[in-house]
Amino acid sequence: MPTIHAYAAQNATTPLAPHDIQRREPGNHDVEIDILYCGVCHSDIHQARNEWGNSIFPMVPGHEIVGKVTRVGSHVKKFKAGDLAGVGCLVDSCRECRNCKEGLEQFCEAGAVGTYNAYERDGKTPTYGGYSTRIVVDEDFTLKIPSNLDLAAVAPLLCAGITTYSPLRYWKVGKGHKVGVLGLGGLGHMAVKLAASFGAEVTMLSHTASKEADARRLGAHHFVLTSNEELLNKHKNYFDFIIDTVSAPHDYNIYLNLLRTNGTMICVGAPPAPAQVPAFNLIMNRRSIGGSLIGGLPETQEMLDYCGEHNIVSDIELIPIQQINTAYDRMLKGDVKYRFVIDIASLKS
Ligand code: NAP
Ligand code: ZN
Ligand code: ZN
């Protein structure tokens, strides 16, 4: 099996460091991809630090992968060597359950296989993510990349893009809706861009005052600093939807109270600690709390095609992999504009 350079976390407390891994030779249905760029998701930090309690070490994070196809298996139809290709959060699923048949592979009843921090369907081969030079993935879990977009800035669409696109589509968010986006990081900035492009009125709810100008440039119509109680009070019973992208524990009730009748708070941020919600905050105004997990393969392709047609990409800071630990520290302070993307060339030299 070919040896591949990567960066890995050896345990929950030591910084990421160089680490070689092995990948399978491409099988009949596989696509081998030379990775060019990989986005840095806050889920990488949660998992590298075992904050969700399910980490498998050594761990090579990374599930926002864009690269070039080097080889394909004999049965592969969608790709040939030289094509651009993307890989998101999933690399396999059972393909037989109701959810898989509906293109909701993320909810596979047998358990979808994550791009990293998971085991292949054999139950024993660990999966390794995109902080590496190459990956081998079944073509059914490999995405087509629009050719008109900046490749490094496309990478974050594979998680931050689909994670916000999917709930906005599911809840049919568009013209006439007032949407609040809580947290301006990787997911938040994509939620702003996408919700605005769907015609909704978008309000950025952020705890960082210095992000106001950027929020407006990204497409937000209004900006509310969440520490400003007076301004928050003015938005009581205001929003049809709030998309909560915050990675750290926070009080959901403050934001539930901003929802109007029949309003929905959509949780995509995944803080490690549970939230407490009194029933009265839902009973009043018939409010709901929902959640959403990334997106299935057909919808991920639909999102990429939509972004190609509408020229939507992520706002990124391109970094060499040697800066990954500093990037994690900055993200923990909410200091990222608005997605770090690793230039994988830095791992090859
Ligand atoms: P990120 O880039 O680090 O952004 C998180 C944002 O949360 C920050 O920029 C900050 O925005 C805000 N925030 C509010 N309170 C904070 C605090 N005390 N400390 C730090 N930040 C705070 O993270 P991300 O990559 O967008 O991911 C966000 C969350 O979504 C993570 O929990 C991640 O695991 C989860 N996620 C879920 C899915 C899914 O399928 N549901 C997919 C991907 C990621 P302001 O400065 O504007 O307040
Ligand atoms: Zn992610
Ligand atoms: Zn399934």
Which residue has the least CA distance to atom 46 on ligand 1?
Answer: 208
Mean pLDDT of 90-110: 98
Residues of the chain above pLDDT 90, percent: 98
Which tokens hold the place of 346?
């830095």
Q: What is the largest CA-CA distance in the chain?
A: 63
Is the CB of residue 44 less than 8 Å from the CB of residue 62?
yes
| Range with lowest mean pLDDT among 198-202, 261-265, 289-293, 334-338 | 334-338
Tokens at residue 25, please? 């030779």
Mean pLDDT, rounded, for 59-85: 98
Structure tokens at 16: 């990421």
pLDDT at 2 (0 to 100): 76
Q: Residues lining ligand 1, CB < 6 A?
A: 41-43, 46, 159-160, 163, 183-188, 206-208, 211, 245-248, 250, 268-271, 292-294, 331, 334, 336
**Average pLDDT for 38-43:** 98
- Distance between CA atoms of 280 and 291, rounded to whole angstroms? 19
Confidence of residue 1 (pLDDT cuts 50, 70, 90): confident
pLDDT at 349 over 80: no
Residue 185 has pLDDT above 90, yes or no: yes
Cα–Cα distance measured from residue 256 to residue 241, given in angstroms and rounded to the nearest whole number: 10
Say if residue 186's pLDDT is above 80: yes
Nearest CA to ligand 1 atom 12: 183
* Residue whose pair of structure tokens reads 């629009």 in the numeric block: 146
| Mean pLDDT, residues 147-159 taken together | 98
pLDDT digits (tens, 9 = 90+) for 235-288: 999 999 999 999 999 999 999 999 999 999 999 999 999 999 999 999 999 999
Task: Assess contact for 158 and 166: CB atoms under 8 A.
Answer: no
pLDDT exceeding 70 applies to what percent of the chain?
100
State pLDDT tens for residues 126-140.
999 999 999 999 999
How many CA atoms lie within 13 Å of 318's alpha carbon, on the beta-carbon side? 12
Amino acid 270: pLDDT? 97
> What residue has token string 């009748």?
261
Going by DSSP bridges, is the β-strand pair 65-72/30-39 parallel, antiparallel, or unpaired? antiparallel
DSSP notation for 59-84: B-----EEEEEEEE-TT--S--TT-E
Residue 281 alpha carbon to ligand 1 centre in Å: 23
Q: What's the confidence (pLDDT) of residue 113?
A: 98
Distance (angstroms) between ligand 2 centre and the Cα of 52 equals 14
pLDDT tens digits, residue range 271-280?
Answer: 999 999 999 9
* pLDDT (tens digit per residue) in 117-126: 999 999 999 9
* Predicted local confidence at residue 24, as pLDDT: 96
* CA separation for the pair 326, 315 (Å, rounded): 19
Atom 7 (ligand 1): residue with closest C-alpha? Answer: 246
Locate the ligand 1 atom nearest the alpha carbon of residue 215 and give its number.
47
**By the 8 A CB rule, do 132 and 3 touch?**
no
Question: What's the rounded mean pLDDT across residues 20-24?
Answer: 96
CA dihedral 85, 91, 94, 95 (to 10 degrees): -10
What gap in Å lies between CA 28 and CA 12, rounded to an integer?
Answer: 36
Distance CA 315, CA 292 (A): 23
Nearest to 39 by CA among 234, 278, 321: 321
Compute the distance from residue 113 Cα to the ligand 3 centre, in Å: 10
Task: Give me the pLDDT at residue 225, please.
Answer: 98
Instruction: Quote the mean pLDDT of the chain.
Output: 97
> All domains of the chain, ordered by start, with CATH?
3-159+315-348 (3.90.180.10), 161-291 (3.40.50.720)
| 287 torsion bin: left (phi>0), alpha (psi -120 to 50), beta (else) | beta
Angle between helices 160-170 and 297-310 (to 10 degrees): 100
Distance CA 156, CA 303 (A): 12
pLDDT for position 301:
98
Looking at residue 83, its pLDDT comes to 98
Question: Which pLDDT band, with edges at 50, 70 and 90, does 348 fall under?
Answer: confident
Q: Which DSSP state fits 134?
A: E
Asked if the model's pLDDT at residue 81 lies above 90, the reply is yes
* Confidence band of 323 (pLDDT split at 50, 70, 90): very high
